[in-house]
Amino acid sequence: MKPTSEGQIELGKILKNELNDLGLKASINDEGFVFSYLKANTDKKLPKVGFIAHMDTSPEMPGGITNPQIIKYEGGDIKLKENIYIKEKDFPFLKDLRGKTLITTNGEMLLGADDKAGIAAIMDALEYLVENPEIEHGDIKIAFTPDEEIGTGCDTFDIDFFDADFAYTIDGGKLGELEYESFNAAEAIISIKGKSVHPGTAKNTMINSITVAKELDDLLGQNKRPEHTEGYEGFYHMISITGSIEDTNLVYIIRDFDRKEFENMKNFLKDCVGFLNKKYGNIISIDMSDTYYNMGDILKDHMEIVEYAKKAMENLGIEVIEQPIRGGTDGSKLSFKGLPSPNLFTGGYNFHGIYELIPIEDMKKSSELIVEIIKEINRK
C-alpha cells in the first residue's frame, strides 16, 4: 500500500539519492520505505544496530512551504507573525534555550521537525561516520518510514529485510529524552442514529443524536481527557465529531500505559454504549480496534540497548531524561514485531502546531548521540 501522501515518496527518493551519494546502497519500495546500510568496517563480532526516522508530518495542520525563521534567542517572546508569539509565560522552557539558535515556524503551519529533525540527525551522523572510517562499527541499518503519524506506517515494515538486532527511533523531543515506554492505543468509531421530528411536537419522541453523543462523552468523565492528564495517566480523546439530529459520528482514541487498565477503559466505553443503547433502543454502533501496544512490555527484556543510549548521553555530558512517551512511535510496533526500538530525542519542542521550534545545537547533539551510541556498542 502506498503512503497517504505523494510528498513522502518524493522525499524518500531524495533521501535515497543522498544516501547513494554518501556511498551507501539505498532503496525505496512501493510502500514508501527507504532502506539503507553502512557496512561494518571491522572483523569484530558487533551487533547490527538500526536508526529509524519517519518522513511524514502531523495531519493535524495544513502542509505546504514552511518558510521557517532562524533566530539567535536571547530571551523574551518570539514573534512568528503579526499578533502571534511564542510567549515565555506560556512556554516556560524558553528560559533554558537562551543563547541557542532556534528554528521556528512563520506562524502559519507546523515546522515539520517531527520528524525531519530525526532524518537530518541520522544523515548527519552517517556523513560523519563515512568521513571518519577509523571509528569501528558493525553493520549500521537505516530506515526512513512513511505514515508514522497516523499509526499505520510500520504495519508492513519488513524486519527480516532490515536485518538489525535492535534499533533506535530518532523521534523524541527535547535534549536528553530517552523513552522506552509508550501508550497502549486503540481507536473507536461510533455512529449514533437519532430520530428527527418537529421540535414543536418532539416530547417523548425526538432522539437527538447530537445530545446522545454529548451524554456518552459525559459518561466517560472529565478527568480522563488529555487536557487533564499527565505522566502515566491514560485518557479518552474525542478527535472528531460530525452530527445532525438524525446522525452523529464520533472518533475516539483510547490510551493507557498499563495493559490491564487499557482493556478496562475499552470495556468501560463499550459498557457506556450498551447503557445508552438500552436507554434509547439500540441506536449506537461501535467499531473498536487496537492500534499499538506499550513497547515497554518488550523492552524490559532488552534494557542493555537502553543502557547503551544512557551511557552515550552521559559521555556527551547530556542529562538523561527517562520518561514514558505520551503517544507512540514506530518503535511501538517494531518492538512487538521483534525489533526492540527505544526512542531518542531530536531536540524539538511543541510538535504538531505553529509554535513548534527546535534549537540547532540540540539537533546537532542528536546526531552526535547516534555516533556515540555506535562507539559505546563497540566498547562493549
Kindly compute the dihedral angle of the four CA atoms of residues 114, 241, 156, 111, in this order, to the nearest 10 degrees: -10
Match 506506517 to its residue by C-alpha cell: 153
Catalytic annotation, pick one of 31, 114, 115, 148? 148
- Catalytic (active site) residue 148: yes
d(CA 168, CA 304): 13
Length of the chain, in residues = 380
Catalytic annotation, pick one of 31, 56, 256, 356? 56
Contact 316, 371 (CB under 8 A): no
Bridging pattern class, strands 235-243 and 247-256? antiparallel
Packing angle between helix 113-131 and helix 6-21, nearest 10 degrees? 10
Helix (H, G, I), strand (E, B) or coil at 28: strand
Residue 71: strand pairing partners: 102
Q: In terms of Cα–Cα distance, which of 131, 130, 106 is closest to 39?
A: 130
Find the largest Cα–Cα distance for the chain.
85
Element (H, E) at 189: strand 184-193
Burial code of 26-41, b = ≥16 C-beta within 10 A, e = fewer?
bebeebbbbbbbbeee
Contact 68, 120 (CB under 8 A): no
d(CA 17, CA 250): 43
End-to-end CA distance of the chain, in Å? 40
Residues serving a catalytic function are 56, 148
